[in-house]
Every structure is written in C-alpha cells, then in structure tokens.
Copies of this chain bind each other. A is one copy, B any other.
Amino acid sequence: MANMKYSRQRESIKEYLAHTREHPTADMVYINIREKYPNISLGTVYRNLNLLVEQGEIIKLSPGNGSDRFDGNSMPHYHFLCTECSCIQDLDIAPGVLDHINLIAGAGFDGEIRGHSTFFYGKCAKCKSRN
C-alpha cells in the first residue's frame, strides 16, 4: 500500500503495542490511546489495527474465548493462554523449532505449508501458585 499517509493515531497505536506485553484487545487499545487522543474512535482503532496486521507490523491473535488480541511483536513466536485468568503470555522457544515443526507437518501433506500459529494452554505461574 504505497499511497498511505502518516497518522498520529496509527503511530500511537503502533507505539503502544510495541511497548506492552499485554496482548490487548481492540477495546483495550482504544481505552489506552484515548488518554492521549481523547476523541479517537473505536472504528479508527479497528481500521488501523487491521492495516498494521496487513503490513505485517503487528500480529492478530484469536484465542477462541472473547475478542481478538493484538501483539506488537511480529516475529513468529508462540503464545500461552491461561485457562483460569485468560491472560496471554509470550513463550520463548528455541529458534529453528518453528521451521522444524513446519517440516514435520508438511511431510504427509500435499498442499503448501507457509507457517503455523500455536496456542499453548494451561495455568499461568500466578494461577498455578494460587492453587
């Protein structure tokens, strides 16, 4: 998309996502950006989130429970979803593992595998210790 103009709102959204580890929903982004741009509209947030996803600057996550979530870290990596508190966390996985898994999966498959996205689930550290 060559004919794209700068917008403070979009920049602010990108910046916010780059500095949080929260994997926020569109609504959470909206609430946050409103502190700086009090009359930004939710539609603008959605449109820019989708634009940024299209451009590969951020990643959209669909954990399956409520709303979609967004991650400012666009490097392929894995996520963990706590089945108790619904928090989402990044997982560190050794580089190479992802490609390895793509290969394993592609072995018996006659289509073309480009990548994969994985959600691990279970109890996060806090919920585990709280018992």
Contacts and interface: CB of A to CB of B under 8 A. Distances in A.
Interface string A42-53: 000000000000
Interface stretch (A1-9, A27-35, A91-99): A91-99
Interface residues of A, number: 40
A60 interface: yes
Interface in A47-71: 60-64, 68
A113 B120 contact: yes
Interface string A94-131: 10010001101100111111111111111111011000
17 contacts: A62-B62, A80-B105, A80-B109, A80-B111, A82-B111, A83-B114, A91-B105, A97-B104, A101-B118, A102-B120, A110-B125, A111-B125, A113-B121, A114-B123, A115-B120, A116-B118, A118-B118
